Chains A and B, each alone.
Chain A
Amino acid sequence: MIENRPWLTFLSHAIVLLGIVVVAFPVYITFVASTHDQVTLLQAPIPMLPGDHMVENYRQVLFEGVGAASAGAPPVLLMMFNSLIMAVVIAVGKIAISIIAAYAIVYFRFPLRMTFFWMIFITLMLPVEVRILPTYEVVANLGMLNSYAGLTIPLIASATATFLFRQFFLTVPDELTEAARIDGAGPLRFFWDVLLPLSRTSIAALFVIQFIYGWNQYLWPLLITTDESYYTVVMAISRMMNVVDAAASWNLVMTCTLLAMIPPVIVVVLMQHWFVKGLVETEK
């Protein structure tokens, strides 16, 4: 459709720009705040332009922690490392487990197949928060508090991913399976040589979604970590704001926030090509 209406063009651009400003402004403020010292930020008005404490703030946050006043959080670098482990293990684990589960459900006839499928499917309706207390109990009894295993394993089971892979496998033509059987590929070869390469784009899309899901976990790490060397960056941010008997170091909190935003952005930017492909098209 070709249109030549200057006002409409102007209006649509204006709306887009407005949208960008609304989304980007808080991020900008975060950036600006992360470049000032604590005193400047506590006075009104808050500055709109970057200050000159950037290097100092980032160095302090990354390597020394937010300071004695901030609930004893460890250096952000360590917390980011924890978050990264958590996000990657959850994403990879979820994909690995659910693709295998979906393969079993779609390609094998075994007793109670549909029962298992519906059991998995029904758990879709239960978010982490609903089952968090029983899960905590189990993890505590297994002695997995304050460990990477405790941070990740309970979050790996994923009905969503299983369901998505199942739907994808159902669209793979039966003839492909039959051709592989005639070629002599057993179940594992078929999975490895045919199904896995075909699922590449779905895997990429799920990885992005699950990485961000894992990175943004807040409640779960808050519950099961008491040892600060297992703190994750997202939960630590809120701890930094709740300081008793002292002013919050907003400059450092903002620095930390900005750092916490970077890895998900990197993942999205690197994988966006695959991500979009995985959501819109199936390569067959």
Chain B
Amino acid sequence: MAGVSIRSVKKSYGEIEVIHGIDCEIADGEFIVILGPSGCGKSTLLRMIAGLEEITAGEIAIDGRVVNDLEPKDRDIAMVFQNYALYPHMTVYDNMAYGLRIRGMSKAEIDMRVKKAAAILELDGLLARKPRQLSGGQRQRVAMGRALVREPSVFLFDEPLSNLDAKLRVQMRIEIRRLHQTLKTTSIYVTHDQVEAMTLADRLIVMNAGRAEQIGSPMEVYARPATTFVAGFIGSPAMNMLPGRLGDDGTVEVAGVRLPVAAPVAGTAGRPVTVGMRPEHIARADQGTRTFDLHVDVVETLGADTLVHGRIGGAGNELIVRLPGSVTTGPGDVVPLAVAPQNLHLFDAETGARL
């Protein structure tokens, strides 16, 4: 077991820099999820930790030892790939034992470790099978078993669940979580799925275009997104973002409506800002407490919730609101709404940084 230090790591392919310097200290036993849209460099970062990509600049240290120039096999890591990457001609047992055999471990020790991993992952009955005789979920488990038997100090997961169907994904997600609770091995997990990220992570690294936009616990990232990108990426449906201006009395003006802000923001009145409101933080209000009206366009009924799409204060200012399923409304209605001051997120209109 070991911590991982990522110190101003950069990656370029030729002239093009794809990762612009990432810093992160990962504690021993932590479960870190790197989250971001495709092409943001999250897999590249993981592959640099694994040693499959060269590090252009900066340092990566595992357990205090700089591993920049070490081969993957010498880094004491194990990796689970998106498409499993099982050896098709080997049985499940051999797939798991292969790495141990190369290390010259004794037969008895290999057998013990493979049996143990198989028991944890419920692969006992499948050890003699070939990968093609297994279902997707079983293959995924074998791929995890192959990582498990190595007893590495860091587990690396590269979108391991994205080839599974929705139901299996939920199930495997819980298994990975449970596994981590038992083994407490430092894990780094790459995904583009925010639900996976939120449920698995001790801490998240939200990446965009080669930069770490925010590093923090799932709740922190959700409650206090550092940038408009993070705000829009985490949460479903995405946070509403409306252009606004700072008022002079601790308020912000959006679409002609004045809203009070919980913590006054520095800056002159009239400064342009982006105002974020999560759909689930906007509630239906009475005439007395209402802050603005929503002109309903479309209603999506989900059962437990109702998603109401509409406009406030004229064209352009579109808004999505998540209301309880009991609320009935239809296109053309006007719904009075309210949002608590502490649930307003203010971002700089130009840089997108949180104010």
- Interfacial residues, chain A to chain B (CB-CB below 8 A): 173, 175-176, 178-185, 189, 193-194, 197-198, 200, 283-284
- The answer to whether A197 touches B73 (Cβ under 8 A) is no
Count of chain B residues near A, Cβ 8 A: 24
Chain A residues whose CB sits within 8 angstroms of the CB of B86 once the complex forms: 179
- A193–B98 CA distance with the chains assembled, in angstroms: 9
- The answer to whether B78 touches A182 (Cβ under 8 A) is yes
CB distance from B141 to the nearest CB of A (A): 15
- The answer to whether B89 touches A179 (Cβ under 8 A) is no
- A11–B178 CA distance with the chains assembled, in angstroms: 67
Give the most central of A183, A185, A197, A198: most B CB within 10 Å. A183
- Interfacial residues, chain B to chain A (CB-CB below 8 A): 50-52, 71-73, 77-79, 81-89, 98-99, 102-103, 132, 146
Chain A residues whose CB sits within 8 angstroms of the CB of B73 once the complex forms: 181-184
Chain A residues whose CB sits within 8 angstroms of the CB of B71 once the complex forms: 181
- A272–B314 CA distance with the chains assembled, in angstroms: 74
- The answer to whether A283 touches B72 (Cβ under 8 A) is no
From the candidates B81, B102, B146, name the one contacting A175 in the complex (CB within 8 A): B81
**Additional pairs, 15, CB under 8 Å, beyond known A179-B146, A181-B51:** A175-B81, A178-B52, A178-B72, A179-B86, A181-B52, A181-B73, A182-B50, A182-B72, A182-B77, A183-B102, A184-B72, A184-B103, A193-B98, A198-B88, A283-B89
CB distance from A272 to the nearest CB of B (A): 21
From the candidates B82, B87, B89, B99, name the one contacting A182 in the complex (CB within 8 A): B99
Give the most central of A173, A182, A200, A284: most B CB within 10 Å. A182
- The answer to whether B83 touches A173 (Cβ under 8 A) is yes
Contacts A184-B73, A184-B99, A184-B102 given; does A179 touch B88 at CB 8 Å: no
Chain B residues whose CB sits within 8 angstroms of the CB of A176 once the complex forms: 85, 87
- The answer to whether A182 touches B79 (Cβ under 8 A) is yes
From the candidates A175, A183, A200, A283, name the one contacting B98 in the complex (CB within 8 A): A183
- The answer to whether A189 touches B102 (Cβ under 8 A) is yes
- A92–B81 CA distance with the chains assembled, in angstroms: 36
- The answer to whether A185 touches B102 (Cβ under 8 A) is yes
User: How would you classify the secondary structure of chain A's contact residues: helix, strand, loop or mixed?
Assistant: helix
User: How would you classify the secondary structure of chain B's contact residues: helix, strand, loop or mixed?
Assistant: loop
- A180–B85 CA distance with the chains assembled, in angstroms: 9
CB distance from A191 to the nearest CB of B (A): 13
User: What are 13 sample pairs from A and B whose C-beta atoms fall under 8 A apart?
Assistant: A173-B85, A175-B83, A176-B87, A178-B79, A180-B87, A181-B52, A181-B72, A181-B73, A182-B79, A184-B73, A194-B89, A198-B88, A283-B89
Q: Which residue of A lies closest to B47 (CB)?
A: A178
- The answer to whether B88 touches A284 (Cβ under 8 A) is yes
- A184–B76 CA distance with the chains assembled, in angstroms: 10
- The answer to whether A194 touches B87 (Cβ under 8 A) is yes
CB distance from B188 to the nearest CB of A (A): 14
CB distance from A107 to the nearest CB of B (A): 14
Q: Which residue of A lies closest to B83 (CB)?
A: A175
- A182–B72 CA distance with the chains assembled, in angstroms: 5
Q: Which residue of A lies closest to B89 (CB)?
A: A197
- A185–B146 CA distance with the chains assembled, in angstroms: 14
CB distance from A137 to the nearest CB of B (A): 45
- The answer to whether A198 touches B85 (Cβ under 8 A) is no
- A192–B69 CA distance with the chains assembled, in angstroms: 26
Chain A residues whose CB sits within 8 angstroms of the CB of B50 once the complex forms: 178, 182
- A178–B82 CA distance with the chains assembled, in angstroms: 12
The 6 closest A-B pairs by CB, nearest first: A184-B73, A183-B99, A175-B85, A179-B85, A197-B89, A184-B102
CB distance from A101 to the nearest CB of B (A): 22
CB distance from A46 to the nearest CB of B (A): 54
- A284–B83 CA distance with the chains assembled, in angstroms: 12
- A282–B85 CA distance with the chains assembled, in angstroms: 16
CB distance from B318 to the nearest CB of A (A): 42
Chain B residues whose CB sits within 8 angstroms of the CB of A185 once the complex forms: 98, 102
CB distance from A24 to the nearest CB of B (A): 39
- A185–B98 CA distance with the chains assembled, in angstroms: 9
- A198–B84 CA distance with the chains assembled, in angstroms: 17
Q: Which residue of B lies closest to A177 (CB)?
A: B85
Q: Which residue of B lies closest to A284 (CB)?
A: B88
